[in-house]
Structure 1
Amino acid sequence: MTDKKNIRQAAALKYDAAKRQAPVLTASGQGLTAEAIIKRATDNGVPIQQDPALVGLLSELEVNEMIPADLYDAVAEVFAFIYQADKQAGK
C-alpha cells in the first residue's frame, strides 16, 4: 500500500498580466511527474516554494486553467516569494 502523504507533488504557475487577469496552472503532477517539474524549475533558476496545501488545491485544476478567485491570496504570496527571491539573486 502506498502512503499518499509521502508522494511528492508539484504545480507550476505562470502569470502574464497582459494576457490574463489571473495566473494559469501550467503543470501539475505527483511522483515522477512532480520530480520532473521540480527539476525543470531548478534547471531554469525558478525559485521553488513548498506549500503542500496549495499544491493540493492547484492539483484539482486542469492545466492551462486560470486559478479561481478563492486562491488569489495564496498564489499572490507565491509570486511575492518569487519576486523577493529574484530580487535577492539580482535578477
Structure 2
Amino acid sequence: MAETYTHHSAGLESPASHGFDIVPDDTNLLPSVTRAIYVGNGGQLCLTLLSGATVTFQNLPAGSLLPVRATRVFSTRTTATGLVGLN
C-alpha cells in the first residue's frame, strides 16, 4: 500500500506508526520510548517516564490508551495485562 504522507514529518500529535508488546520487567528498559500505552486488561500500571520519574496509575480500565512517554514498565507493581507500546 502506498504511504500518502511520505513528504510530511511526523509530530507527537500524529498517529502511532509502530507498536510492540510490553512485557513488564523491573530491570530492562522498553525497546523504544512510547508515545502511548494501550491497556488491554485493566488494573494498575507502574512505569518510568522519559523524565526519569516513576509513577503508578491505578484503576485503569480495559481498552484504555494512556498517552505517556515511558521507558520502562515495572512487573512488581503492574497488574494490568495486554499492554502494547505505541510510538
Establish whether TM, by shorter chain, passes 0.5. Answer: no
TM-score, length of structure 1 as denominator length? 0.27
Which has the larger strand fraction? 2
Report 1 or 2 for greater relative contact order, CA contacts < 8 Å, sequence distance ≥ 6.
2
Which has the larger helix fraction? 1
TM-score, length of structure 2 as denominator length? 0.28
